[in-house]
Chains A and B, each alone.
Chain A
Amino acid sequence: MAETQAEKKERKLPAPAVSPETQAYWDAAAEGKLLVKKCTACGQCHHYPRSICPFCFSDKTEWIESSGKGTIYSYSVMRRAPVPYAMAYVTLAEGPRMVTNIVDCDFDKLKCEQPVKVVFKPTDGGPPLPMFTPV
């Protein structure tokens, strides 16, 4: 019922605020690529991306391209919204968990640990947002 409504009404996504520190992430999103920051000192990936590694504080971080594959860590369908949507944390194959939405699916069939893959959704005047859909 709620999903039928969602099909009729388009959810407008606000544009993310782009900063010099994260420009590359959003430029890549515009090309349909999901980037992750990796630290060359400790070897760990983190999210959201920073220039300084939050684990070892090295400033030797680099962008790598994510496979776009992951699993749902947790989710919640926001029923009390003009257009219901599925808030989620997705665990990327590269390690980090990211705040996102699960889209293009039956919300009533979502499960924790379900495999998903990245898709990009347009925003209102900004770069597209990486979201995920069940595989």
Chain B
Amino acid sequence: MSIKGKAYIAGIYEHPTRLAKDISLAQIHAQVAKGALEDAGLTKDDVDGYFCAGDAPGLGPMSMVEYMGLKPRHVDSTDTGGSSYVLHVGHAAEAIAAGKCKVALITLAGRPRAEGMATGTVPRSRGGTPTPDEPFEFPYGPTVVNMYAMCAMRHMYEFGTTSEQLAWIKVAASHHAQYNPHALLKDVVTVEEVVNSPVISDPLHRLDCCVITDGGGAIVVVAPEIAARLKRPKVKLIGAGEFVKTQMGGKVDLTYSGARFSGKAAFDEAGVKPGDIKFAAIYDSFTITVLMQLEDLGFCEKGKGGAFVADGNLISGVGKLPFNTDGGGLCSNHPGNRGGLTKVLEAVRQLRGEAHPKVQVKNCDLAVAHGTGGSLGLRHGSATVILERE
């Protein structure tokens, strides 16, 4: 069974806040749900499928189902970190295609800024029963930044990738963020400013990192017959793929990501090629994340990502592959340290023609949204969706 053409994204919403001191976690989930349902022209009572991940308070979906007064006949709380919500779009389409629901709601929320979380620079233990890997990793001090940094270090060693090339990814994001009134960082930065910002963990500088923000977002995925009676522009899901990449029992290879497999699955299902894509929403926890995913999704040859992203190639209206035109996680928003959902949102805006006029891609009829969750250098979940304007 293929999900091609079996589901549409009918509603989206991104919370405008970047610092949620006076809003509860559950409240943000409900606010973004309300926003996305209103965007679609649907109500809470239309929802019969609910999707969330580990950022939702409580056990799986249950607390939020209760808080929002939902009555879902299908739930899915698969957690692959920040890529969960891209994966949920695919799973929602599968559920819809199988007749298990018709209106699927996906929500994300988080408050790491309000809670003062040291997101990227302090090793995190999950507590409770240790995972089997934890005794062999946690005591050594793996953090979000240094594990991604090791991918960058190896990429530089094998392929000659440079800090200046990585910096171009931040530069492109900043060119887009200047037009987003909600972006946390609105200033356009230069390659020099990125490489001269303080090193957090070699070879990644502060400006190679994404922002830390509160907020959230929601997506409403619906069956074709529901989409047909709604008034919003129709965004059709035509391909989805997912993969979990690990250290492979000690055969870890830091030079590629699970996008190699999730991307191929999504492109094969959609029957399109990377060269057909007009807009790419690419998970951007760090500059290296973008570079590796672009290679693995097939936008350029492995090892040639540095040359591909340089000289503004990712800037809308300038380069060949406009990416993250809302400023992405690198400049605008990375709600709850989980940036996959906002990737889908900007892809939908582009396909609807509702991106900011300064960054709107002309005739944008085909887009990819891709997420990486967990740690690129330890183990991560990859999810890819291909979306088409109808």
Q: How far is the CA of A109 from the CA of B36 in the complex (A)?
A: 52
Q: How far is the CA of A15 from the CA of B250 in the complex (A)?
A: 22
Are A79 and B251 interface neighbours, CB within 8 A? no
Are A77 and B140 interface neighbours, CB within 8 A? no
Given A54-B249, A73-B154, A96-B251, are A80 and B135 also a contact pair (CB < 8 Å)?
Answer: no
Which B144-179 residues have C-beta < 8 A from chain A? 145-147, 149-154, 157
A13: B residues at CB distance < 8 A = 139
The 0/1 profile, CB within 8 Å of A marked 1, for residues 207-227 of chain B is 000000000000000000000
Q: How far is the CA of A18 from the CA of B139 in the complex (A)?
A: 12
Are A123 and B139 interface neighbours, CB within 8 A? yes
Are B142 and A99 interface neighbours, CB within 8 A? yes
Given A45-B250, A78-B143, A87-B142, are A112 and B199 also a contact pair (CB < 8 Å)?
Answer: no
**Can you give 30 A-B contacts (C-beta < 8 A)?**
A17-B135, A21-B132, A48-B132, A48-B136, A50-B249, A74-B154, A74-B254, A76-B147, A76-B150, A76-B203, A76-B204, A77-B202, A78-B121, A78-B141, A78-B145, A79-B199, A80-B121, A85-B141, A87-B140, A87-B141, A87-B143, A87-B149, A89-B252, A96-B250, A97-B247, A99-B142, A101-B140, A112-B153, A129-B140, A131-B140
Are B141 and A81 interface neighbours, CB within 8 A? yes
Given A79-B202, A80-B121, A96-B249, are A74 and B132 also a contact pair (CB < 8 Å)?
Answer: no
B141: A residues at CB distance < 8 A = 78, 81, 85, 87, 101
Are A18 and B146 interface neighbours, CB within 8 A? no
Given A87-B147, A96-B249, A96-B251, are A15 and B153 also a contact pair (CB < 8 Å)?
Answer: no
Closest to A22 in B: B135
A46: B residues at CB distance < 8 A = 249-250
Are B139 and A15 interface neighbours, CB within 8 A? yes
Q: How far is the CA of A101 from the CA of B143 in the complex (A)?
A: 13
Chain A residues packing against B (C-beta within 8 Å): 13-19, 21-22, 44-48, 50, 53-55, 73-81, 85, 87-89, 95-101, 112-113, 123, 129, 131
The 0/1 profile, CB within 8 Å of A marked 1, for residues 186-203 of chain B is 000000000000111111
Q: How far is the CA of A23 from the CA of B1 in the complex (A)?
A: 46
Closest to A99 in B: B137
Q: How far is the CA of A88 from the CA of B121 in the complex (A)?
A: 16
Minimum CB–CB distance from A70 to chain B (whole Å) comes to: 11
Are A76 and B251 interface neighbours, CB within 8 A? no
The answer, yes or no, to whether B133 is at the interface (CB within 8 Å) is: yes
Minimum CB–CB distance from A106 to chain B (whole Å) comes to: 13
Minimum CB–CB distance from A113 to chain B (whole Å) comes to: 8
Closest to A83 in B: B141
The 0/1 profile, CB within 8 Å of A marked 1, for residues 245-259 of chain B is 001111110100000
Q: How far is the CA of A127 from the CA of B101 in the complex (A)?
A: 52
Q: How far is the CA of A81 from the CA of B137 in the complex (A)?
A: 17
Are A48 and B150 interface neighbours, CB within 8 A? no
Residue with the greatest number of chain A CB neighbours at <10 A, chosen from B136, B137, B154, B378: B136
Q: How far is the CA of A18 from the CA of B135 in the complex (A)?
A: 7
A19, A85, A89: which contacts B150 (Cβ < 8 A)?
A89
A123: B residues at CB distance < 8 A = 139
A14, A17, A22, A79: which contacts B201 (Cβ < 8 A)?
A79
Besides A78-B201, A99-B140, 9 more A-B contacts (Cβ < 8 Å) are: A21-B132, A47-B136, A73-B254, A76-B204, A81-B141, A97-B247, A97-B250, A99-B137, A129-B139
